Amino acid sequence: MTNYSIDNHWFDQLKKDHTFLIAGPCSAETSDQVLEIAHAVKGVASIFRAGIWKPRTRPGGFEGVGSIGLEWLRQVKEETGLPIGVEIATPEHVELALKYDIDVLWIGARTSVNPFAVQDIANVLKNTDRIVMLKNPVNPDMPLWMGGLERLLKAGIQKVALIHRGFSTYEKNKYRNVPEWQIPLDIKAQFPQIKMINDPSHITGNRSMIFDTAQMALDLNFDGLMIETHRSPDQAWSDAAQQVTPQALIEIVHTLKSRDLSNSEELFQMQLKNFRIEIDELDTNILKLLHKRMNLVEKIGYLKKEKNVAVFQQERWQEVLEKMKQNAKEYKLGEAFITDLYKAIHLESIARQGKIINNK
For binding to Mn ion (CB under 5 A), which residues are involved?
Answer: 26, 239
Residue 176: CB minimum distance to ligand PEP, A: 9
Do residues 245 and 233 touch, judged by C-beta distance below 8 A? Answer: yes
Give the nearest distance from C-beta 70 to ligand PEP in angstroms.
Answer: 16
Residue selected from 14, 24, 34, 51 as contacting ligand PEP according to rule CB under 6 A:
51
In angstroms, what is the minimal distance from the CB of 16 to ligand PEP?
Answer: 20
User: Cα(164)–Cα(198) distance, rounded to whole angstroms?
Assistant: 5
Helix 142-154 and helix 182-190: axis angle, to 10°? 40
Phi/psi of residue 171, each to 5°? Answer: -75, 145
Name the phi and psi angles at 141, rounded to 5. -120, 100
Distance, CA of 217 to CA of 225 (rounded, Å) = 8
By the rule CB under 6 A, 97 interacts with ligand PEP: no
Q: Closer CB to ligand PEP, residue 27 or residue 245?
A: 27
Q: Which amino acid is at 71?
A: E
Instruction: Answer with the entry of Mn ion, ligand PEP, none that 42 interacts with (C-beta below 5 to 8 A by kind).
Output: none
Residue 180: which of Mn ion, ligand PEP, none does it interact with, CB under 5 to 8 A by kind? none
Angle at 225 between CA 70 and CA 230, to 5 degrees: 50
- Contact call for residue 135 and ligand PEP (CB under 6 A): yes
Part in contact with ligand PEP (CB under 6 A); list of ranges 103-111, 269-277, 293-301, 331-339 = 103-111
CB atoms inside a 10 Å sphere around CB 159: 20
Residue with the shortest CB distance to ligand PEP? 108
Binding residues with ligand PEP: total (CB under 6 A):
9
Q: Which of residues 141-200 bind ligand PEP (CB under 6 A)?
A: 165
User: What is d(CA 38, CA 73) in angstroms, rounded to the nearest whole number?
Assistant: 10
| Cβ atoms 33, 75 nearer than 8 A | no
CB-nearer residue toward Mn ion: 180 or 239: 239
Where does this chain touch ligand PEP (CB under 6 A) — which range of 102-110, 291-299, 300-308, 349-357?
102-110
Choosing from 151, 176, 188, 202, the residue that interacts with ligand PEP (CB under 6 A) is 202
Query: Facing residues of 244 across strands?
Result: 229
Q: Which residue is nearest to Mn ion (CB)?
A: 26
Site pattern 246..265 for ligand PEP (x: CB under 6 A): --------------------
State which residue, 29 or 239, has the beta carbon closest to Mn ion.
Answer: 239
DSSP result, 142-163:
HHHHHHHHHHHHHTT--SEEEE
Q: Is 16 helix (H, G, I), strand (E, B) or coil?
A: strand
Within 58-87, which residues bind ligand PEP (CB under 6 A)? 87
Residue closest to 193 by CA, chosen among 6, 18, 1: 6
Residues that bind ligand PEP (CB under 6 A): 26, 51, 87, 108-110, 135, 165, 202
